[in-house]
Amino acid sequence: MYKKVILFFLLFNLSLFAMDMNHQHNHQMFQTVDKKDAKLVKTDKTKYSCDICGMDLVKFNKTSHAVEFKDGKKQQFCSLHCLSEVYKTHKNDIKSIQVVDAKTLNLIDAKKAFYVVGSSKAGTMSMVSKYAFKDKINAVSFQKSFGGEIKTFEEALNIAINGLPKDNTMIDKKRVKMAKKGKKIYESMCTQTQTPSFNTVGEAKKYLMDNNICKNIKPMMLQAVAIYKFNPSLADNSNKKISIPKDAKCPVCGMYVAKHPKWAALINVNNTHTHYFDGAKDMFKFYLNPSKFSHVHSKDEMNNIIVSDYYTLEKIDAKKAYYVIGSNVYGPMGKELIPFKTQKEANTFMKNHYGKKVLKFSEVTEDILY
């Protein structure tokens, strides 16, 4: 009886998530279409799920984008935001991109579409909405009713790419409650097994579905578990992770480190001050050649170096860690050195993610980094 009550409240709260993301309450969201009208291009178990964020492609069909890759693989995304996550790293692998016409609900060539950016209608995965139309007359009519600016695909895409850091910070904040609920659901209703690391929520969701990890749970509950498995740190209240000041900037790339907590690293200089980094790669660049970044520190002065274990996000001694290079997992600055507390975990990750080699701290050189 107690478990049923807990699950009831979990399900009730989870049902609010999609609406919260778009500030919609008590009525159908603008992006939503009838299931029979939804344009879907995938045929596997993830047919209804965005390949990046895992969200429902029927609920967010009016902002949906479909991609066919040169190898014939097809993916679908709930938004231009999620498409931009793929486009920035796999642009050259893409054969074609389609988007749902917000007026006719047909799939159209995205590169020929007219996008209305920044209208009063809610955005999907972004505070700045982006709706596409095949005919300019329909885009202008929409603009007159709801505001915004008419842009080309390239212009709208660049806006989405430039907005990724801010949007992802907003998304992570909204995912915290879902991740905590996902952790409870996973621990009480799913098979407890070693799962691989995931690049996206969509990837985590596909793994859970393909391997039947969570049996007989509702879609929003599965979404919560996928969010938790993608980024367990969102549900972790412990003090085992690196604590990052909000204004800390990486001295190598200039990015705000707090926006990428799962990749955080630090170097403490003689216990006088600390440099924070948005990944082990930038940390090593600084450590091996600080003068290149306008700092003069000897290696003896940089006496406390910490990285985040990829699986647990626990802060670990960088000099005792193991690093996988050349994998298909990308960090905030692209290709990354992936840190692990144990060599066994590093080897397992390397095999699962096509890594090239496992290195100890002393084996990392500048040639490898660049």
Map 10-67 to HEC letters: HHHHHCCHHHHHCCCCCCCCCCCCCHHHCCCCCCCCCCCECCCCCCECCCCHHHCEEE
- At residue 136, what is the residue type? K
Split at pLDDT 50, 70, 90, the class of 168 is confident
Find residue 65's DSSP bridge partners: 77, 99
d(CA 40, CA 66): 8
Q: State yes or no: pLDDT of 233 exceeds 90.
A: no
Integer angstrom CA distances of residue 230 from 23, 153, 203, 362: 24, 30, 8, 30
Residue 89: the pLDDT is 85
Q: Among 144-153, 160-169, 213-222, whose mean pLDDT is lowest? A: 160-169
**Which of 1-10, 225-234, 240-249 is predicted with the least confidence, judged by mean pLDDT?**
1-10
> What are 128's two structure tokens?
């700045």
- With vertex at residue 263, the alpha carbon angle to CA 281 and CA 130, rounded to the nearest 5 degrees, is 110
CB-based burial, 17-29: b 16+ in 10 Å, e otherwise: bbbebbeeeeeeb
CA dihedral sign, ordered 196, 160, 30, 61: negative
Q: How confident is the model at residue 238 (pLDDT cuts 50, 70, 90)?
A: low
The pLDDT value given to residue 170: 87
Q: Which H or E run contains 285? A: helix 280-288
Bridge partners of residue 268, in order along the sequence:
274, 304
**Burial status of residue 316 (CB atoms within 10 A of its CB: 0-12, 13-18, 19 or more):** buried
Residue 322 has pLDDT above 70, yes or no: yes
Distances (CA, A) of 43 to 47, 66, 202, 239: 6, 13, 15, 43
Q: How confident is the model at residue 26 (pLDDT cuts 50, 70, 90)?
A: very low
Query: Which of 287, 328, 326, 321 lies closest to 307 in space, CA to CA?
Result: 321
Its pTM surpasses 0.75: no
pLDDT confidence of residue 237: 58
Cα–Cα distance, 196 to 353 (Å, whole number): 9
**pLDDT single digits (tens) 211-230:** 999 988 999 999 999 999 99
